[in-house]
Amino acid sequence: MTDFQAVERAVRTGAPNELLDTVRAALIERFDATEVNLLMADYSLTVLQPVTALPHTAQPLSVQTSPEGRAFGSQEPYGQYIAQDGAVDLHLPVTVRGDRLGILTVRLPEHRCTPQAVDEMTGLAEFLGHEIIVAERDTDLYLQARRSRRLTLAAEMQWQLLPARACARREYAIGAQLEPAYDIHGDNFDWATTADTLTLTITNGMGEGIQASLLTNLAVNALRNARRAGIAIADQAALADQAIYAQYRGEQYVSTLLLSCELATGRVQVVDAGSPQLWRYRDKAVERVDFNAQLPLGMFDESAYEAQEFQALPGDRLVFVSDGVYGAVSKAGESYGERALARAIQAVSFLPAAAVPRAVLQELTEYRDADADDDALVVCLDWFGRSSA
């Protein structure tokens, strides 16, 4: 049995809340590790939180300035020589299908930090990420480690509704982020993939707090229910519209942008039912992609929806934003507007999809009034296409 297999087996048989202890013991035995720590990215993607028992006393590390943050940002193993110990701290990305969860840090004697050992432990860090996703069904430990402060109840409901913050496969890569991360209300995103299609929805519910979160929960689950019935996106929108209207009788409604992407061809069907916008970065130029606006979901009884089409080309970057982004206002009362948003998208063109939303929202935070309380949502979809993959 190889070292990798031995550690993997130990982790699979460990208790959900003891994954780190199990990994630590196995790495000490098999790789002569002297210290092993797991850090989880917090909800705002600004710090890495050590996984410890409550109450958390270990200090968080900056994503921007720490060696661990360097590995998190680059998604590559990063070795840090520790002179006084004659050892190496190896920082390994814990990532699942493009969703960046955190960093596994392993301190090794320098002679044990061989290329083979780095490769094996990089694979183990990825495997640990998969196990964390499974373990979160049975323990709160890793979810608690992701928060640097308490979430509002509305934010708790919204984060639990999300699929992930990133996803990647050969045809595309997605990244998404919500702000304010610890007090989000009605903005949300969702996606699902099959062998042939990617379905993506951007939703923006009315109101604030619990009411906005309840409305968005109903909308997202109504859309999922319709999607899982295998029907076209226009009918998905119609069924969700009926469910929301039946509950709120038009007093509350949900702005939605619903897309279905054909993986083999890049043909995209779109239902534009409200305020979320789509921007496209192609050939170093940024432009807004407009569609025929249709009624938000739940505004009127039995609204009819029609899908429009556009073509995504390999190399396209599609950026989706809520009104909390393009409608943001500065302290001087100036609107963020289309020019500033286009510049922001251009400025982050070198970043991978998973890092784009955070970067755009960071610039927005510096621009807008600090007292602004509207939700802000950015989703980035990099389209590679099947032929070029």
What is the chain's pLDDT, residue by residue, as a tens digit (389 residues)?
677 788 888 888 889 999 999 999 999 998 999 999 999 999 999 999 999 866 666 789 999 999 999 999 999 999 988 867 789 999 999 999 999 999 999 999 998 999 999 999 999 999 999 999 999 999 999 999 999 899 999 999 999 999 999 999 999 999 999 999 999 888 999 999 999 999 999 999 888 889 999 999 999 999 999 999 999 999 999 999 999 999 999 999 999 999 999 999 999 999 999 989 999 999 999 999 999 999 999 999 989 999 999 999 999 999 999 998 988 887 777 778 788 899 999 999 999 999 999 999 998 887 776 555 678 999 999 999 987 54
The set of residues, in sequence order, having a beta carbon less than 8 Å from that of 214 and lying 6+ positions away, is 157
- Cα–Cα dist 117/31, whole Å: 8
Can you tell me whether residue 78 is helix, strand or coil? strand
The set of residues, in sequence order, having a beta carbon less than 8 Å from that of 281 and lying 6+ positions away, is 316, 317, 318, 319, 345, 346, 349
Q: What is the CA radius of gyration of the chain?
A: 22
- Cα–Cα dist 88/105, whole Å: 10
Question: In this structure, is the dihedral angle defined by the CA atoms of residues 108, 114, 117 and 118, taken in order, positive or negative?
Answer: positive
| DSSP secondary structure, 246-262, as one string | HHHTTSS-EEEEEEEEE
CA end-to-end span of the chain, whole Å? 35
The set of residues, in sequence order, having a beta carbon less than 8 Å from that of 383 and lying 6+ positions away, is 171, 172, 261, 266, 312, 313, 314, 315, 316, 317, 318
* Residue 89: strand pairing partners: 80, 107
- Nearest alpha carbon to residue 27 among 95, 101, 127: 127
- Cα–Cα dist 138/361, whole Å: 32
> Can you give the pTM of this predicted structure?
0.94
- Cα–Cα dist 223/272, whole Å: 14
